[in-house]
Structure 1
């Protein structure tokens, strides 16, 4: 056996691994390899030891979000001690944004950017990273080696999930995002433009799901009603073509979910026509609306591309058309002052009175974003009390308290790896210069 690939397979990041396996199962290569799944640290160590007996090289593939990086670095150290001799490769948004930090945390290689073509080239090289685009590692002398940008291909090039492995997940219909919100990692990993999977390609995936007994179709997309467009204006005819195709393929006993978890809808995209389109073809009775703040100043600083009134209108229309509306809001964003907090809390109460539920988050300075060096979200006691009151009446939910802890850890990590020429000092919103384009 030339190569053994062990996936450190965690529930929170299965989509990324599935995408890699989907590309791999269609790839013709002369390299003899095997793939295994490790769902715990102990299982990962055991599989490494077994693979070392039959394979010339063992690769362990990791994928994780930035808030999980510190904990997984500790797990990596334990696995290395229990099972030496493997090459550990980290991919995903954190490794892309902070490759040197990832190497210093213990991984041998950071995979930067989209991973499909990088993995295929790596397999063809029997696991040798030299010359494979999309990787960062240190050579024998400790010098950092960057192999260049990973290749980006049309979304139809690779499957959304690996059929041969019978591992299914929501279908990624759009990659990248034109909005480039300052707190979000998506557009800075996948580029600030949309790439859409074609309707016929989505049909193929739904057909495979049905053949394997699955009856629920869901989608991965940064903004649901942007399907089919390259601008800020929705193309409802493209959305209808997609949803009609999925409804036809999944059959009368299947279900289609759109604009609900794991994706959302931008508030300015919501209209009566759009809502009735979802109602006609889909089975979800709830929608997720990305508001993020009730402060006009915070929304402008974050480059959200919409205002507060669009949020109010979206919630009213959604409830009017019979949907339960969940509204994402982030507390503690950079430059947020007391009046901005008051505006957000007032909006949260107003929307809750209409019947919406608030999905509360604490701002985290995520690597790879323009606000990477901003202070962690600071939620004052008065805000916490108000948020708790909303929560107690069932109008608010979320892991915002846990995110406060993650935010502090990310801020400390950022201090250890400062970006040249970037100041971490942020003025109150009223004193900030206009946002650059």
Structure 2
């Protein structure tokens, strides 16, 4: 006998892209389930209580800075629903810190890419199979230790759509060969690029046009790397992608590429690349990752470039009609006041050239090589300079809030040392 399964999602704007991919995987695999979206903890609990299914699976996804707040929400939902439901946390934080997630009250942690895991998990619940048969999970044992099942496979990106019947950016690349020590992406999705085919992207666009949508955006860790296996852009592949998308769009359709929610690397900003983009894209800005004005800090972070291509990228982008939004991270491990002063100088120079500076504070994110690294102190002199840039209209960002997150993450890392026990099931 097959059990009825209700899937309740704690649906939050911050993680809709990943949630849409999971739900699309379930639909594509034709896994029967009742779906309910809870936009608040109270609504999530109401959906759990209202479900008449035999089993209720509650999906949560969040980034590391949100983990503490989501744990509080979980406690609220459990209290309001009488403890009913099997709660699973997924995403980059759960992948990196399954023991912490289990200790915080979730029944399961999803580890790695979730499409194969969610399909196998719902089927296991329907067929009353042991959850230990589901790949990509951490399950609490009798001692409270998070036991891991076998890893979930990393499949070609065309295997599942980015979404079905929903809007959002199309994921065109997963994984990243640039293993920056502060970034979670390559350590969750792998250190190689996996690109969605142009045919799959065009299929997404056709569906979006059929639903009356006209703006197309993309998810990728580095836009101009599309189609390339290595460090050098393949502009032919990029043009094939953009031209194919334009062919699927109506005359009033628009393509946004290299702007939110993705970016370009500074060394990829060349006159040839900018001329290509101008032929196809509607965005008048580009997001460029500089991260620091110190060559020492860039080298230590594994960024893969120094400061020299950053100025060139801004000049070239501006010359071709784009306004660069340039990311800087302050407080990276080993950074001193001289490094911060170099970043401030470079940021001011770029602003004079026509860029806007997007300021960030380093966070020791779980799953990264710098998870246990001590954030550098940001003195008052640096803070004042950042405030001065913002007051001039040359900088923006939530670096102060990120500094609070950084302190909490550093404390959590101490409470959960990397050497903590890991055991596999079976």
**TM-score category, normalised to shorter length:** over 0.9
In the TM superposition, residue 16 of structure 1 has moved relative to its aligned partner by 0.8
Matched, 1:352 2:351: yes
Q: Which residue of 1 aligns with 2:24?
A: 22
Separation (CA, whole Å) in 1 of partners of 2:240 and 2:115: 28
Provide the aligned C-alpha RMSD in A: 1.2
For residues 70-127 of structure 1, the C-alpha deviation after alignment (integer angstroms, 9 at most, x for no partner) is: 0110110111111111111000000000000110111110000000001111111126
- Distance 1:420-1:142 versus aligned 2 partners, 3 A rule: closer
Q: How many pairs does the alignment contain?
A: 414
SS in 2 for 1:4: strand
Aligned to 2:57: 59
Please say if 1:160 is aligned against 2:152. no
Residues 326-337 of structure 1 correspond to what in structure 2 (within 5 A)? 326-337=325-336
1:377–1:407 Cα contact (<8 Å) kept: no
SS of equivalent residue, structure 2 residue 139:
strand
Contact in 2 for aligned 1:362/1:400 (Cα 8 Å): yes
Q: Which moved more, 1:148-157 or 1:90-99?
A: 148-157
The verdict on how the C-alpha distance between 1:377 and 1:10 changes in structure 2, with shifts beyond 3 A counting, is farther
Indicate how the Cα distance of structure 1 residues 265 and 75 shifts in structure 2: closer, same or farther if over 3 A, else same: same
1:35 aligns with 2:49: no
| Corresponding position of 1:82 | 80
For 1:42, what is the secondary structure of its paired residue?
Answer: helix
Counterpart of 1:268 in structure 2 is: 267
Who is 1:223 aligned against? Answer: 222
Q: Which runs of 5 or more residues in structure 1 are unaligned?
A: 422-437
Cα contact 1:118–1:133 (8 A) shared by 2:
yes
CA-CA distance at 1:144 after TM superposition = 3.3
1:132 aligned onto 2:134: yes
User: How far did 1:342 drift?
Assistant: 1.0
SS of residue paired to 1:340: helix
**What secondary structure sits across from 1:85 in the alignment?**
coil
Q: Which runs of 4+ in 1 moved over 6 A?
A: none
CA separation in 1, counterparts of 2:334 and 2:154? 35
Identify the residue that residue 209 of structure 1 maps to in structure 2: 208
Q: Which moved more, 1:137-146 or 1:335-344?
A: 137-146
Contact residue 377 and residue 404 of structure 1 kept, 8 A: no
Where does residue 68 of structure 1 map in the other structure? 66
- What residue is the counterpart of 2:180 in the other structure? 181
CA separation of 1:392/1:143 partners in 2, compared to 1, >3 Å: closer, same or farther?
closer
Inter-partner Cα distance in structure 1 for 2:186 and 2:288:
19
- Tell me how far apart the structure 2 counterparts of residues 338 and 40 of structure 1 sit (CA, whole Å): 43
| Equivalent residue, structure 1, for 2:232 | 233
Within 1, Cα distance between the matches of 2:373 and 2:91? 22
Is residue 335–residue 376 contact of structure 2 (8 Å, CA) maintained in 1? no
Confirm or deny: 8 A CA contact 1:215 1:255 kept in the other structure. yes
SS at match of 1:126: helix
Check whether the contact 1:137–1:146 (CA below 8 A) recurs between aligned residues: yes
Distance in 2 of aligned mates of 1:219 and 1:136 = 31
What TM-score do the two structures reach when normalised by structure 1?
Answer: 0.93
On the 8 A contact 2:99/2:145 being kept in 1, the answer is no
SS at match of 2:236: helix
Q: Which residue of 1 aligns with 2:94?
A: 95
CA contact (8 A) 1:364 1:377 kept: no
1:139 Cα shift?
3.1
* C-alpha displacement of 1:142: 3.6
Aligned equivalents of 1:178, 1:276: Cα separation in 2: 26
For 2:143 and 2:291, locate their aligned partners in 1 and report how far apart those are by CA, in whole Å.
Answer: 46
Distance 2:377 2:364 in 1: 12
CA distance in 1, matches of 2:164, 2:63: 22
CA distance in 1, matches of 2:30, 2:203: 21
The 8 Å contact of residues 103 and 144 in structure 2, kept in 1 or not, is answered as: no
**Match of 1:295?**
294
Give yes or no for contact 1:3–1:56 (8 Å, CA) kept in 2: yes
Report the Cα distance in structure 2 between the residues aligned to 1:367 and 1:162, rounded to whole angstroms: 31
Find the aligned partners of 1:286 and 1:141 in 2 and give their Cα distance: 52
Query: Within 1, Cα distance between the matches of 2:348 and 2:180?
Result: 25
CA contact under 8 A between 2:243 and 2:280: conserved in structure 1?
A: yes
Q: Give the secondary structure class of the aligned counterpart of 2:37.
A: strand
TM-score by length of structure 2 reads 0.95
